[in-house]
Amino acid sequence: MKLNGQTTVVVGAQLGDEGKAKVVDYLAQFHDIVVRFNGGDNAGHTVVVNGEKHVFHLIPAGALYPDKINCIGAGVVFNPEMFLKEFEYSKKVAGTTSDNFKIASNAHVILPSYIAMDGANESTSNGVGSTKRGIGPAYEAKVGRRGLRVGDLLSASKLAKALTRGTSVDAQTFEAYLDYGQKLAPMVCDVGLYLEKMIKAGKKVLFEGAQGALLDIDHGAYPYVTSSNCVTAAAAIGSGIGPNRLNNLVGVIKSYVTKVGKGPFPTAMAPEDDEVIREKGSEWGATTGRPRKCGWLDIVALKYACQINGLNGLWINKSDILAGNDVWICTAYSINGKIVDEYPVGTEELESATAVYEKLAGWSVADLTDPNFKAFVQFIENQVGCPVVGIGTGPGRDDICIP
Ligand code: IMP
Ligand code: MG
């Protein structure tokens, strides 16, 4: 894949679960540093190497390489227990050490009480289908200026002082979080400053987004969204560098769409197709195990994702799953009798939208030598005005086709 400049941002251009980790794992070989910048362990990033499946929730997918530096930026809400678990896993499978990890001292910390609050909220009518990892409450505490940050865990006096901001923890949590702080200390630093120095020194940096454009707190189908910005611009804010540093902006999609959690889904498949694609594509949540609802590719939503992300490259995954099927693509919505091809930011309009489809001839293999698959790729490029820069043809590290 042709890369310009020193940095690449990979984001989800649908509703999460587009296979971003596979793309990050592939692109990591051309970069020195991999950075998570938004969300927390609500993400489920799956990479398959030599037939072995690895799932990460918090640490960047670069953790499968022994020679990459993996950063957690300030925009992430950080569960120390999950980090340490995945850190041990990375040590075991890739031989990494604490030298391979940098954690922003200004990233906010998830507390056990936030996880409990998330679970309690989910059982009320306000539930949106959260992963119950405490993500929403952690961002609430952050913008409410009562949050605890990773740097606050580095000594008892720092932690005690941070707790005067309006958050309280019991004695057991206090001790447990101090203990996490001791373990994390060698990795805690100013990640923005580190990245700026590395970019100036000519290093290449890859930013790994979590969730997807339509789950973005500002631009997604509110309130059926996550609690962070999931778009490319968040890579700058969430890691502490300037937006002028971001070069390649890659949006990842599947050749169909999946959704977990509540909210409008205009291209949802009929139950018989939904079941077939879920089985073929193993569409169960990597974090929650929930079945994902399957839908047809939505060009209206994808054009919107290209706009809010400023994408200059699209990556299409899982076209092998649709092989042998008829392929339907939504090119417009019908909303209260009106045909529209622009994504409505009003969630109520989206809720009453029905998809207008075009049918494309199915392909037998997801390979550009198959004329029907090539036509599908060109159809997407023409509709959204963004070049396809990569194609995933199966779950493995090498199942990739670069046009
Ligand atoms: P939360 O981020 O756990 O609060 O969940 C809020 C919404 O975002 C729910 O609909 C979740 O299903 C969805 N969500 C959060 N993380 C992911 C993800 O990594 N993939 C897909 N959906 C997600
Ligand atoms: Mg996922």
The confidence score (pLDDT) of residue 143 equals 98
Ligand nearest to the CA of 258: 1
Does residue 45 have an active-site annotation? yes
Q: What is the pLDDT of residues 261-320, one digit of tens each?
A: 999 999 999 999 999 999 999 999 988 999 999 999 999 999 999 999 999 999 999 999
Does residue 32 have an active-site annotation? no
The confidence score (pLDDT) of residue 355 equals 98
- Ligand 1, pocket-test mutation among 260, 292, 347, most atoms within 8 A of CB: 260
Ligand nearest to the CA of 20: 2
Q: What is the pLDDT of residues 37-71, one digit of tens each?
A: 999 999 999 999 999 999 999 999 899 999 999 99
Query: Phi/psi at 103 (nearest 5 deg)?
Result: -120, 130
Catalytic residue (choose from 31, 41, 45, 320): 45
Q: What is the pLDDT of residues 351-376, one digit of tens each?
A: 999 999 999 999 999 999 999 999 99
The confidence score (pLDDT) of residue 326 equals 87
Q: What is the pLDDT of residues 158-199, one digit of tens each?
A: 999 999 999 999 999 999 999 999 999 999 999 999 999 999
Q: What is the pLDDT of residues 220-230, one digit of tens each?
A: 999 999 999 99
The confidence score (pLDDT) of residue 240 equals 98
> Is pLDDT above 90 for 209?
yes
C-alpha of residue 131 to centroid of ligand 1, in Å? 6
Q: Read off the amino acid at residue 251.
A: G
Contact 107, 75 (CB under 8 A): yes
Q: What is the pTM assigned to this prediction? A: 0.97
Neighbours of ion ligand 2 (CB under 5 A): 17, 44, 286
For residues 7-36, average pLDDT:
97
What percentage of the chain exceeds 90 in pLDDT?
97
Nearest residue (CA) to ligand 1, atom 5: 130
Q: Read off the amino acid at residue 100.
A: N
Where does ligand 1 bind, in terms of residues with CB under 6 Å? 16-17, 42-44, 128-131, 133, 135-136, 210-211, 215, 224, 226-227, 260-261
Query: Mean pLDDT score of the chain, rounded to an integer?
Result: 97
The confidence score (pLDDT) of residue 141 equals 98
The confidence score (pLDDT) of residue 208 equals 98
Q: What is the pLDDT of residues 128-148, one digit of tens each?
A: 999 999 999 999 999 999 999
Region for residue 39 given its phi and psi (left: phi exceeds 0; alpha: psi -120 to 50; beta: otherwise)? left
Q: Which atom of ligand 1 is nearest to the CA of 42?
A: 16
